[in-house]
Structure 1
Amino acid sequence: MADPQHILSVTELNRMARELLETSFSLFWISGEISNLTRAASGHWYFSLKDQGAQVRCVMFRGRNAYLDWVPREGDKVEARAVVTLYEARGDFQLTIEFLQRAGLGNLFEAYEKLKQQLAAEGLFAAEHKIALPTHPRQIGIVTSPDAAALRDVLTTLRRRMPAVNIVIYPTPVQGKGAANLIAAAIRTADQRAECDVLIVCRGGGSIEDLWQFNEEIVARAIHGCTLPVISAVGHETDFTIADFVADVRAPTPTAAAELATPDRSSLLRNLQQSRERLERSMQNRLQQRGQQLDYLSRRLLSPMQQVAHKQQHLAQLRLRLVQAMTRQLQKQHQHLQAAQQSLAHLNPSAVLQRGYALVEKLNGELVQDSTQLSIGDTVKLTLGKGSVEADIRNVRSR
């Protein structure tokens, strides 16, 4: 409380008024219509909020308005979160705006959060329900408006990345009354026809009201029930819709959706070239290794003539060894024969008889070896070295 006897300067008064206002009013919401809007070179926004009975000056500094994804215009109905302050230099009462949104968005955000929580509780956002995108799709479906800039962006990107892929467009309005039902119907049609490998649901950027059709439950359930992998690409990178959460993949922009749906032809060709070069190097190394191995084996390999010569040499050695073995065997057998001949000669009765001995036999051919075999008057045959004679026994003497 200022001393009533103290004379205040204007600066002191404005400072005290500012402090009083700032401590008396915490952060609050206020609604009104924008007028006298000025966007300064500094990036700050200056405007007034008015209703039928009054108006108040406002400032939204660059550090705050940079976070908005839309730019207010003269006459817009808005809702602002603000603090009360006083611009001391001029003594102007004003509001410092922390956040700004179009009027009525509070109800939309409330409906958005309510549906989001409901569908999350039912499991529509669960990871186990997500379908992986095909690596090399042959045909891609697009659910969007035929007149949308987003479609042109998607088609341009697809032609650049993979011109051979086929495109099927399932046309539908993407904003306005009843658009949600038509979007859901287009998704179901694509699913029933099952002619595509992946489905892109897209539209360009806009206000929350423009994108609201993709926050409708009917669209969310159509995406969840689709058996095709679905890419949601609604709005700009900062925009998040219920469709984004339900879809198998969320793309920040339609162009990004086209990039996610297809491999890059240039990258594929580059990878193919690299694979070809690696294969060529591998084959070259393999051929070189096999060539060296062949050279090594060829040094050990004999030609047919060399093999014949080698075999002939081996055969000659075997023949020589056979002749030598036969010679040794003949010599050995000859020696055995000579020994047998000598033994036979020694045992030959004729040889004995040649030395003056005689062979005595009875006339019945019995060989006489003992004198007891004979009696006086017996006739015997005497075989001599040459010829034989008969003799009569006149005397027998035992030994």
Structure 2
Amino acid sequence: MKQQESVFTAGSKAFTAEQALTVGQLNRMAGRVLQDTFGVVKVVGELSNFTRAASGHWYFTLKDAGAAVRAVMFRSAAARVDFRPREGDQVEVLARVSLYEARGDFQLGVERMQLAGAGDVWQRFARLKALLQAEGLFDAGRKQLLPPDIHTVGIVSSLKAAALQDVLTTLRRRAPQLRVIIYPAAVQGQQAPAELIAAIGAAESRQECDVLLVVRGGGSFEDLDAFNHEGLVRRLAGCSLPVVSGVGHESDFTLTDFVADVRAPTPTAAAELVSPDRRQALQQLAHRGHRLAAGMQHQLERLAQRLDMAERLLRSPGQQLQVRHQRLAQLAGRLSQAMTCRLPSPQQRLERQTERLQRSMTTCLADSRNRLQRGETLLRAPQTGPAAFRLQRAEERLAQASGLNWQRAAQRLDRAETSLGLISPLAVLGRGYAIVRDENGRLLASAADAATGQPLDVQLRDGRLAVTVDAVRPA
């Protein structure tokens, strides 16, 4: 019995089961079937994974509680939209059902778009954000500064997440000396918020790290929903460790970004925030090393100069002894010259004092003699009454004045003798010095003034010595 062939029609062509189709032919045929079957349809859904390409085309997903469909809106159609679409917007679109042949993806080609009301996920996010912000959980005043010296970094993320590997690679490249501790937790799904809260609690209770990174890679708004959980946000707000949030891409925002002490646009950026650049640190270290070496060299040069100066000032004991001998010889010469110059002076002062004393005594005697003569004259005359009394008083005053004059003269003489004794060369001789004269009576002030065999007269305190020079020894 001959087998019956299967036949189906696609457009104006009929194909049998025995014919082989290419993938491109199959996708084109399926696309025509979809376009012919549905034509232009109106669809209501929530915007998700919205992307604006550099070409001006929009790529997004329309979804509801149980399904999702990809959609594209080309630049010419997107230019006619009178609002700025955002994640979570509930929109109503007029689209053609088609198939993207290159990948075989079922998609909508949107020609019109208008708002149909905000989506449930976005509304819940907006309400919770407003509530937490009103409580002050996002205030900058309650946020901590990152410590200046970080030695240990804690990471809260999934062990299977690509973002964790990016963070570890960045830390290893920039600062391999840092210690890293991972606190594993799911970052997506219903169990994710509870595991994230537990991991943060473990890091805080163990106090092993200086800063805590909460990281996850990019994804749709729904994929990041775990980081919008109210319990997680409140746990991060009460964490004693400085927290850096690196969730999603730069355009993604979650509530953990608002409550964290520092928000990083990506997980890699979060790792860069807490790790000093190794190359920059090495450059700084090298610069400081050069400065230290230059400072030490300058210090050594300065000390070497001080040593040279001290060496020039330092003399050997022999040199110091020679200098002291020269100084002693100079002082001895000055002393001899001073004695020679001052020797006639005491004699002259003694003579002057003697002359003054003689003049004073002569004056006193003459005055006394005159007074005596006047007294004798008065005595010769008969004295009676008040005159006799005045004469007696005059005699008494004369006797007192004469005694006082003699006493004052004796005191001046004693002072003169004491002064002469202090400045007399004989007092110097009493301390062991001597006065040397040659045979002509001339004083000798230097050894060079004497010759071998010359007779000299040496005057001591209590006598004189006649000596002969055996040898002349200069200092």
Question: What does residue 350 of structure 1 align with?
Answer: none
Report the secondary structure of 1:113's partner residue. helix
8 Å CA contact 1:44, 1:59 repeated in 2: yes
Corresponding residue number in structure 2 for 1:203: 216
TM superposition shift of 1:60: 3.0
Task: Report if aligned partners of 2:44, 2:93 keep a CA contact under 8 Å in 1.
Answer: no
Shift of the alpha carbon at 1:309?
Answer: 3.2
Residues 43 and 92 in structure 2, CA contact (< 8 A), matched pair in contact too: yes
- Structure 1 segment 10-29 matched on structure 2, within 5 A: none
Which residue is equivalent to 2:75?
Answer: 61
Distance change >3 Å, CA 47–CA 145, structure 1 → 2 = closer
Aligned to 1:364: none
Residue pairs, 1:305-320, within 5 angstroms: 305-320=318-333
**1:44-77 CA-partner distances (Å, limit 9, x unpaired):** 46999999xxxxx983318969x9999xxxxxx9
Paired AA for residue 227 in structure 1: S
Over the aligned positions, Cα root-mean-square deviation in angstroms equals 4.4
Letter in 2 for 1:256: A
Deviations 1:102-134 (A, max 9, x none): x99722111111111111111111112111112
Residue in structure 2 matched with residue 127 of structure 1 by the alignment: 140
Mind listing any 5+ residue stretches in structure 2 that lack a counterpart?
Answer: 1-41, 65-70, 96-108, 356-475
2:269 aligned with 1:256? yes
Is residue 2:182 matched to residue 1:169?
A: yes
Task: Name 1:271's counterpart in structure 2.
Answer: 284
* Residue 325 (structure 1) aligned with residue 302 (structure 2): no
Q: 1:245 to 1:48 in 2, by over 3 A?
A: closer
Shift of 1:82: 6.5
CA distance in 2, matches of 1:329, 1:269: 83
Native 8 Å contact 2:43 2:94 kept in 1: no
Measured in 1, the distance between the counterparts of 2:112 and 2:302 equals 80
Shift of 1:97: 4.6
> RCO (CA 8 Å, sep 6+): is it higher in 1 or 2?
1
Letter of the aligned partner of 1:319 in structure 2? A
Please say if 1:215 is aligned against 2:228. yes
Q: Structure 2-normalised TM-score?
A: 0.51
CA drift of 1:284 comes to 2.9
Partner Cα distance (1:59, 1:274) in 2: 56
How far apart are 1:33 and its partner, in Å? 10
Which one of 120, 139, 143 corresponds to residue 156 of structure 2? 143
Letter in 1 for 2:226: Q
Alpha-carbon distance between aligned partners in 1 of 2:54 and 2:350, rounded to the nearest angstrom: 142
What is the 5 A alignment of 1:343-382? none
Q: Cα deviations across residues 242-282 of structure 1 (Å, max 9, x unaligned)?
A: 00010000011111111111212221121111111122223
Shift of 1:192: 1.1
Deviation of 1:135 after TM superposition, in Å, equals: 2.1
Distance 1:69 1:47 in 2: 10
Counterpart-to-counterpart distance in 1, 2:208 and 2:53: 54
Following the alignment from structure 1 to structure 2, what is the Cα–Cα distance between the partners of residues 259 and 329?
95
Q: Is the 8 A contact 1:197 1:228 kept in 2?
A: yes
Structure 2 residue matching 1:210: 3-state secondary structure? coil
Deviations along 1:268-306, one digit per CA (max 9) or x if unpaired, are 121111111122223333444554565566656655544
Which segments of 5 or more consecutive residues in structure 1 lack a partner in the other structure? 1-28, 52-56, 71-76, 85-92, 344-399
State the one-letter code of the partner of 2:160: D
Q: CA deviation at 1:237?
A: 0.8
Which of residues 119, 139, 146 is equivalent to 1:106? 119
Task: Please identify, of 161-170 and 145-154, the stretch whose mean Cα deviation from structure 2 is larger.
Answer: 161-170
Query: CA offset at residue 225 of structure 1?
Result: 0.8
Deviates more, 1:310-319 or 1:229-238: 310-319
Corresponding residue number in structure 1 for 2:259: 246
Counterpart in the other structure of 1:95: 111
| Alpha-carbon distance, 1:177 to partner | 0.9
- Quick check: 1:160 aligned with 2:170? no
Give % identity.
49
Instruction: Give distance in 2, aligned partners of 1:121 and 1:276.
Output: 52
| TM-score, normalised via structure 1 length | 0.60
**Contact kept? 1:230, 1:248, Cα under 8 Å:** yes
Q: Compute the displacement of 1:336 (Å).
A: 7.1
User: Would the alpha carbon gap of residues 314 and 129 (structure 1) be closer, same or farther in structure 2, given more than 3 Å must change?
Assistant: same
Find the residue that maps to 2:208 and give its secondary structure.
Answer: coil
| Cα pair 1:135 1:262 within 8 Å, conserved | no
SS of aligned partner of 1:262: coil
AA at the equivalent of 1:60: F
Decide whether aligned partners of structure 1 residues 292 and 210 sit closer, same or farther in structure 2, where only a CA change above 3 A counts: same
Per-residue deviation, 1:195: 1.2
Task: Please state how far the C-alpha of 1:184 moved relative to its aligned partner.
Answer: 1.1
SS of the equivalent of 2:111 reads: strand
